[in-house]
Structure 1
Amino acid sequence: MGRSDLERLSREELIELVLRLQRPQKTSRTSSKPPSTDRKERREQAKPGGAKPGHEGHSRVLSEDPDAVVDHRPDRCACCGGALHGDLPAEVVSVSERIELPAVAPVVTRHRRLAVQCPSCGGRGVAPVPQAARGTPFGPRLHAVATYLKTFQALSYERLQAALSDLFGLTLSQGGLMNLLRRAQARFRAGREAAVAKLRRAEVVASDETGVRIEGSNSYHWVFHSTDAVVHTASPTRGAVVVREMMDGHRPAVWISDRYTAQQGHGVRHQTCLAHLARDVAYAVEVSADPVPLRLQFWLQAVFALAERVTDLAASTLAAKRRALERRLSDILSAPSRCDLTYELQARIGRARDQLLVFLDHPGTVAVTNNGCERLLRPAVVQRKMTNGYRAMWAATGEADIRTVVDTARLSGASPFATILATVA
Structure 2
Amino acid sequence: MTVPPRYRLSDAEKDALLLEQAALIERLAARVAELEALIGKPKKTSANSHIPPSQDGPGGKARKAKRGRKPRPSRPGVARPLAPDPDRTERCLADSCPHCQAALAPAAQRCRHRYDHIDLPEVRPVVTRVELFGGRCGQCGRRYRAEPPAAMPPGTPFGPGIRSLLAYLHHSHHVGFERLSRLLKEVFGLTISEGAIANAFRRMGSAFDTACAAIKAKLLTAPVIASDETTTRVNGVTHWQWVFQSDDAVLHTIAPSRGRAVAAAVLGDHQPEVWISDRYAGQQELGRVHQVCLAHVLRDVQYAIDCGDSVVAPKIRDHLRWAIRVGKRRPGLRDSTLAAYAAKAERRLDALLGVPAAHPAGRELQRQVKAWRGKFFVFLSDRRVPPTNNGSEQEIRPSVIFRKVTNGFRSDWGPGIHASYRSVTGTARRQGQSAWTAIRHLIDGTFVVA
Regarding TM over 0.5, the answer is yes
Q: Distance in 2 between matches of 1:341 and 1:191?
A: 48
The answer on whether the counterparts of 2:45 and 2:60 sit within 8 Å (CA) in structure 1 is no
Amino acid in structure 1 at the alignment position of 2:371: R
Secondary structure at 2:253 match in 1: strand
In structure 1, which of residues 98, 101, 119 is the aligned counterpart of residue 117 of structure 2? 98
Determine the structure 2 residue equivalent to 1:16: 34
Q: Which runs of 5+ in 2 are unaligned?
A: 1-26, 445-450
Determine the structure 2 residue equivalent to 1:257: 277
Q: Distance in 1 between matches of 2:193 and 2:202?
A: 14
In structure 2, which of residues 407, 412, 427 is the aligned counterpart of residue 408 of structure 1? 427
Q: How does 1:135-146 map to 2 (within 5 A)?
A: 135-146=155-166
Q: Distance in 2 between matches of 1:215 and 1:243?
A: 23
Q: CA deviation at 1:58?
A: 4.2
Q: Distance in 1 between matches of 2:135 and 2:273?
A: 70
The answer on whether the counterparts of 1:113 and 1:126 sit within 8 Å (CA) in structure 2 is no
Q: How does 1:3-82 map to 2 (within 5 A)?
A: 10-44=28-62, 46=65, 52=72, 54-77=74-97, 81-82=101-102
How many residues were matched structurally? 413
Secondary structure at 1:76 match in 2: coil
Determine the structure 1 residue equivalent to 2:24: none
| Matching of residue 174 in structure 1 with residue 194 in structure 2 | yes
The answer on whether the counterparts of 1:115 and 1:126 sit within 8 Å (CA) in structure 2 is yes
Secondary structure at 1:40 match in 2: coil
TM-score (norm 1): 0.90
Q: Distance in 2 between matches of 1:32 and 1:60?
A: 42
Amino acid in structure 1 at the alignment position of 2:240: Y
Secondary structure at 2:59 match in 1: helix
Q: Which runs of 5+ in 1 are unaligned?
A: 1-8
The answer on whether the counterparts of 1:359 and 1:367 sit within 8 Å (CA) in structure 2 is yes
Q: Distance in 1 between matches of 2:154 and 2:293?
A: 52
Determine the structure 2 residue equivalent to 1:369: 388
Q: Distance in 2 between matches of 1:408 and 1:289?
A: 43
TM-score (norm 2): 0.85
The answer on whether the counterparts of 1:251 and 1:268 sit within 8 Å (CA) in structure 2 is yes
The 1:197–1:117 alpha-carbon spacing in structure 2 relative to 1, beyond 3 Å, is closer
Instruction: Identify the range of structure 1 (144-153 vs 124-133) with the bigger mean alpha-carbon deviation.
Output: 124-133
Determine the structure 2 residue equivalent to 1:331: 351
Amino acid in structure 2 at the alignment position of 1:373: S
Determine the structure 2 residue equivalent to 1:391: 410
Q: Distance in 2 between matches of 1:162 and 1:314?
A: 59
The 1:398–1:78 alpha-carbon spacing in structure 2 relative to 1, beyond 3 Å, is same
Q: Distance in 1 between matches of 2:275 and 2:79?
A: 42
Determine the structure 2 residue equivalent to 1:109: 128
Percentage of pairs with the same residue? 38
The answer on whether the counterparts of 2:93 and 2:109 sit within 8 Å (CA) in structure 1 is no
In structure 2, which of residues 306, 327, 335 is the aligned counterpart of residue 286 of structure 1? 306
Q: Distance in 2 between matches of 1:299 and 1:231?
A: 34
Secondary structure at 1:271 match in 2: strand
The 1:71–1:171 alpha-carbon spacing in structure 2 relative to 1, beyond 3 Å, is same
The 1:60–1:289 alpha-carbon spacing in structure 2 relative to 1, beyond 3 Å, is same
The answer on whether the counterparts of 2:309 and 2:361 sit within 8 Å (CA) in structure 1 is no
Deviation track 1:235-283 (CA, whole Å, cap 9, x = no partner) reads 1111111111111111111111111111111111111110000111112
Instruction: Identify the range of structure 1 (225-234 vs 10-19) with the bigger mean alpha-carbon deviation.
Output: 10-19
The 1:224–1:117 alpha-carbon spacing in structure 2 relative to 1, beyond 3 Å, is closer
Secondary structure at 1:221 match in 2: strand
The 1:232–1:133 alpha-carbon spacing in structure 2 relative to 1, beyond 3 Å, is closer
Determine the structure 1 residue equivalent to 2:339: 319
| Matching of residue 420 in structure 1 with residue 439 in structure 2 | yes
Secondary structure at 1:213 match in 2: strand
| Matching of residue 226 in structure 1 with residue 246 in structure 2 | yes
| Matching of residue 216 in structure 1 with residue 258 in structure 2 | no
